[in-house]
Chains A and B, each alone.
Chain A
Amino acid sequence: MSEPILEVNHLKKYFDIRGGIFGKKVGAVKAVDDVSFTVNEGEILGIVGESGCGKSTTGKALLRLIEPTEGEVKFNDQDITQVNSEEMRKLRRDMQIIFQDPYASLNPRHTVEKIVAEPLLVHGMTNAKERKERVKELLEIVGLRAYHASRYPHQFSGGQRQRIGIARALANNPKLIVCDEPVSALDVSVQSQILNLMSDLRDQFNLTYLFIAHDLSVVKHISDRVGVMYLGRMVELADKDELYENPKHPYTQALLSAVPVADPDETGERIILQGDVPSPSNPPSGCPFHTRCPQAMDICQEVTPTFQDHSDQHYVACHLYE
């Protein structure tokens, strides 16, 4: 068993809601509300959940791209929420992020050369020739060609742009990469190219990924373990085969049964949930899922279930298992 590279304890991120003429605080969006998990070195931890459940906020708070409200984020045993900005800058070498929208995350006025070289410069590679060499090497690693370096982002397809984003993230040999929906905007045939590339890179460079997505098949394919979020909370986390074959939380069960499978013989019963996801600014009392849970009990409206190891590293937050 490998060592945890990242340990997240009771992470919270609340966004203030301001209103009135004086912009007084009138409430808070509990985007991430008491989330704990670990990521082991060299593993891919998938995070799934519906829109607005706090996946991206979790990913960004881990890198302090947004400041956590509360909680601890230990990277190689060091609590990075406590370090100063200079130390944080150095740590960012080891912790990278790739975004969903390759269009928006690349500066359209910069050449690929400049985009990929930027993190090298920031982290002290001052020799221009060396940088050029490294950019060339990186482009080849992600399946692009050296001559692409002089082109601009708009000259590439969506999949190629995602490759540029990956090259940039790899520039300084990071240890951990937060991948926020890296293939969600891509077509199926291109998506599989990028997923394969990311798996290969993990093996080649012993990378660790936190892989965020809303597509359950994609997450299953690439991850070793998978966590499920709902309304700012982690509700279940387990080894991927265990989670997909033996989901325990009623939300995970509904989520999995709702995925349409491209097989006309697959006529599994589906659980159709009623209603919409409640607002994270006013989450339900007790278990956040009780307003839609087909198995809700009286206790669920009052007491928030704790996220605990049910058996063999299978974590669930649900009163059915307490």
Chain B
Amino acid sequence: MSDTILELNNLHTHFFTDSGEIPAVDGVSFHVNKGEVVGVVGESGCGKSVTSLSVMQLVPSPPGRIVSGEINFKGENLAFASEKRMRQIRGNEIAMIFQEPMTSLDPLYSIGNQLVEAIRMHNKSSKKEARLKAIEMLDLVGIPRASEVVDEFPHQLSGGMRQRVMIAMAMACDPELLIADEPTTALDVTIQAQILDLMRDLNKEKDTGILLITHDLGVVAEMCDRVVVMYAGQVVEEGTVREILKDPKHPYTKGLIRSLPNLHEKEQKLYSIPGTVPKVTMNSVGCRFAPRCEYAFDRCFSENPALYETEDNRYARCFLYDNFEEQEVATHVGTDSRS
């Protein structure tokens, strides 16, 4: 297990709002190995961003807070680490890029200023050297006129260029883990292809582990080694890209894949999952997917499923895979045994 750089263990991050406590991240466990690209997929509101913000301790607080669980980064539990420690980690050992780069670029400083600062945090170079390095990196991420852009401000750049600047910043700090939260969702496909290419280079050349959050299964197929599927705050299954896309186990994952319009098929009617994602509260009982699940049976409405082992050694949070003899084993593996 020495090559595991990030391991979430039964993480609970809740929001304490006027209308009650919301378990936005409800017992999430998964890991990222060195040099691996792990995708987190799921529909809007399922807790992808809150999971990644938890790792960085950037959950807006109040109302949000990590309630319990572990976030092991290279053997150190960051779940309750001090702000001082987190400042050393952020943008250093762990870099993060967001869907909207404007939120993490400072509008008041030139691109060059921000890059130079990131570079100098890492190696003791003069301002002049760092500036040259900054131009080189902008060039590397495919920014035209890099020597001019270095003196421009974030608002002067297009969305795709800003995202490239963010990647240049992430590269400047040579992180061991890059968390990318929907890095290409706001971009056009041809620009998306450029950005994904850059991220792949970073992963291959520097062996950077990447936690890629997306709702686009196409992006997942293209980028990821493994995939974690989330639904309503919980991991419902996990597997290699091939396992998840070709042989999904959980009814939700199955439905999601069948709902996709496909560029190469000529089906007339799309499959669709009825209903919408439920709002989860502390008192929710039963499988969270039950109201939309075509396989649901009585038990699904009265008990919370754990992660059960399937016959081919995978895990799915679904009673269809609960084999009574092995239930004891399964609840040990299961990450959420609260009721």
Contact = CB atoms under 8 A, between A and B. Distances in A.
Interface of A: 50-51, 157-160, 187-193, 195-196, 199, 214, 216-218, 220-222, 241, 244, 254-256, 258-264, 266, 270, 272-277
18 contacts: A159-B276, A187-B44, A187-B277, A188-B217, A188-B256, A189-B43, A189-B273, A190-B276, A192-B271, A218-B261, A222-B261, A255-B190, A260-B192, A262-B220, A262-B245, A262-B260, A274-B142, A277-B158
B261 A259 contact: no
Interface residues of B, number: 47
Nearest to A215: B261
A190 B257 CA distance: 13
List the 8 closest pairs (A to B, CB-CB), nearest first.
A260-B218, A221-B261, A262-B217, A192-B272, A50-B188, A189-B273, A192-B270, A258-B193
B269 A196 contact: yes
Given A188-B215, A190-B276, A214 B257 contact: no
B41 to A, nearest CB: 10
Contact of A276 (B161, B197, B241, B255): B161
A142 B254 CA distance: 26
A259 B256 contact: no
A244 B262 CA distance: 12
B255 A189 contact: yes
Contact of B263 (A158, A195, A216, A276): A216
A196 B272 contact: yes
A50 B190 contact: yes
B334 to A, nearest CB: 25
A214 B216 CA distance: 14
Given A216-B263, A261-B218, 16 more contacts: A50-B190, A50-B191, A51-B188, A189-B255, A190-B272, A190-B276, A191-B259, A196-B270, A196-B272, A214-B188, A217-B263, A256-B263, A262-B218, A263-B245, A276-B160, A276-B161
Contacts of B256: 188-189
Contacts of B215: 187-188
Interface string B25-69: 000000000000000000110000000000000000000000000
B259 A259 contact: no
B261 A244 contact: no
A64 to B, nearest CB: 28
B219 interface: yes
Contacts of B108: none
Contacts of B197: 272
A158 B45 CA distance: 12
B20 interface: no
A273 to B, nearest CB: 5
Nearest to A53: B188
Nearest to B269: A196
B107 interface: no
B263 A244 contact: yes
Contacts of B264: 261, 266
A10 B180 CA distance: 43
B85 interface: no
Contact of A195 (B193, B219, B270, B276): B270
B261 A192 contact: yes
Contacts of B218: 259-262
B192 A258 contact: yes
Contact of B246 (A157, A254, A256, A264): A264
B106 interface: no
Nearest to B161: A276
B75 interface: no
B221 interface: yes
B255 A258 contact: no
Nearest to B246: A264
Contact of A260 (B43, B144, B161, B196): B196
A260 B194 contact: no
B43 A195 contact: no
B272 A264 contact: no
Contact of A188 (B259, B262, B276): B259
B129 interface: no
Contacts of A244: 263
A52 to B, nearest CB: 9
A259 B276 contact: no
Contacts of A220: 261, 263
A256 B260 CA distance: 16
A189 to B, nearest CB: 4
A258 B190 contact: yes
A254 B222 CA distance: 16
B189 interface: yes
Nearest to B157: A276
Contacts of B276: 157, 159-160, 190
